[in-house]
Chains A and B, each alone.
Chain A
Amino acid sequence: MDESAEVYRKILNYLYLSLSKTAGKLPFSGRYWLEEVTRGVGQQVLQEFGEGIELQAGHPAAICKSYLSILDRAGILDAGDYRLEEEGENVFVTLERERCVYQDFCQGAGEEGLFFYCPRLGALQAALKQALGVEYSTSVEIDAGAGTCRGRIFPAKLRLKTETVTREGELLKIAGERAVLFTKEMYAFILLAIKDYAPHIMKAVLFDAGYRSSRIIAGYAKQNYADPLDALASLFGEFRNVGLGTAELVSLDPGEGHAVIRCYHSMEVTIAREYPLYRTPRVVCDMLRGKFSAYLSVILERPIICEELKCASMGDDCCEFHAFPSDQEGVVW
């Protein structure tokens, strides 16, 4: 590689590293946008250089091979460096790391704990979408000892709603639906108004709001993840995305319908500490209780109710929720 090409290669890697750092700072959708950028570059290359190339529908590995040959002919890479294997719906791509133009980005992102999407795999992902009309996603495993990386391209799971926040004209949208951002003051004043006008409904309102609003997204998670642990992990990701706190599954027994969940930095605790909502110290996370109850009820396909047994508002280091089936104890929904 001549000196100017090496400079451009470095700049390209700096650009991706910078994008990844910026994506990590976005309150919403950072991971989504980084993936969009890497895939978008691939689409652009395909449009520019792909004229006359036949992408064979139904054979993902062959489609990837055709795409690499486009780049080879354009002098961008050597297609012979890439080993392609197809297993079921997955395409595995193996490459020696020193032959990869994006190795600095890959290594830097790993060292700094940044979001990472392999630009090369993103381009293949775009080619597969164009040929098959199917959304794909990617992951990469590095074998540092062997000096190789092994990428996997696989049909994408549906994203949960809150991963994609966009602004369309004057409107803020989450997954295409009109959305609004509240400051904590706005939320707190709604609660204070409820407390002033109808204090007896406060707990029930919070629980029900959490429960009802979480059933739909829990349904999406269940559709996309057969394993309850994966489904809960995706929901906890959404929970963190929207700023409710950081949820952690301590234990889950699907057969017994029993779970223990912890939540750190609960938004409801912050509100209760700053606004005079209650006379005495108490567990305050009723909306979260409703959300966790809905998650577990949908995923385990039976009515589950969570109770908050520890709460950070009472001096504990986190909030802790214990869930049991409610069909055995007459809880009315």
Chain B
Amino acid sequence: MSTLAYFGVEGLDRIISQGMVYGSQIMVHGDTGIGKTVLAGEFIKEGLRCGDVCIYVACDEPPDVMRRHLGGFKVGTRAYEEAGRLVFVDAYEEEASPEKYHIADQHNLDKYFALERELVKRFEGRRIRLVVDSLSTLFTPLDSTEVMEFHRTRLKYLRKHGILALDVFVDGVLDGRVMTVASHLYNVIVRMKFGASENRPVRILQVGKVRSGKFSAAPYMFGISPVFGIILAPESEV
């Protein structure tokens, strides 16, 4: 069984051509509306194709939004859900969630972490992809010390259990110091932002690999197709 993983976005996967090992943590951060959730969807699709168990924690919208999003790309989520290969956690509807897994109080990090560990334990021995979209929403009302303490413990746990985790952060939600410290805990950082002029904005993506000491600052333009998802051509740098 291969121990390497990719995002499932061809251009992006060419940039990280050596792949990521399971147990890596990925931070995806960027502007609102830039396409972080689309990237998270690509990451899940790739995991489903590769035989992984994929867990999606929906914090900013109900899980059905991601189901419909994947359906738009002709992914039949029900087959995977029935087979226990795709799990949605509702961290959005705090009351009366129809989902099997939900968090009653999204700002109670202890309860959240307990559920995350329960799921990791349930699928022990399987390759797991975990996406939290967005982790910054869970952190919003908490002070930075509390955030950092939880964050360090959680990532250590996920690494120890070989979980390939992708955490989404919305830029501007957390203060700069927290973001800087938090980013140091990740193996791979993907930054997504709008660039160029206001009249003709373009989407730009940068990949950084802090842990390996290699940080490629090269920005790449990308687009989002309703049929094919994220399209990125690494040969055409900005």
A interface residues (Cβ-Cβ under 8 A, vs B): 199-201, 204, 207, 279-283, 305-307, 309, 314, 322-324, 326, 328-332
Contacts and interface: CB of A to CB of B under 8 A. Distances in A.
A56 B227 CA distance: 61
A331 B76 contact: yes
Given A280-B6, A281-B50, 8 more contacts: A204-B228, A306-B76, A307-B75, A309-B83, A329-B77, A329-B78, A331-B75, A332-B74
B51 A329 contact: no
Contacts of B231: 200
Interface residues of B, number: 33
Contact of A282 (B51, B74, B228): B51
A330 B51 CA distance: 23
Contacts of A282: 49-51
B71 A326 contact: yes
Nearest to B78: A324
B79 interface: yes
B112 to A, nearest CB: 27
B49 to A, nearest CB: 4
A281 B1 CA distance: 8
B114 interface: no
Q: Is the interface of A mostly helix, strand, loop or mixed?
A: mixed
A137 to B, nearest CB: 38
Interface of B: 1-2, 4-6, 9-11, 13, 19, 48-51, 67-68, 71-72, 74-80, 82-83, 85, 225, 227-229, 231
Most buried by B among A281, A314, A323, A331: A331
7 contacts: A200-B225, A279-B6, A280-B2, A282-B50, A306-B79, A324-B82, A329-B76
A328 B2 CA distance: 34
B83 A329 contact: no
Contacts of B9: 200
Nearest to B48: A307
Most buried by B among A322, A329, A332: A329
Given A204-B227, A204-B228, A282-B51, A305 B74 contact: yes
Most buried by B among A280, A309, A328: A280
Nearest to A327: B71
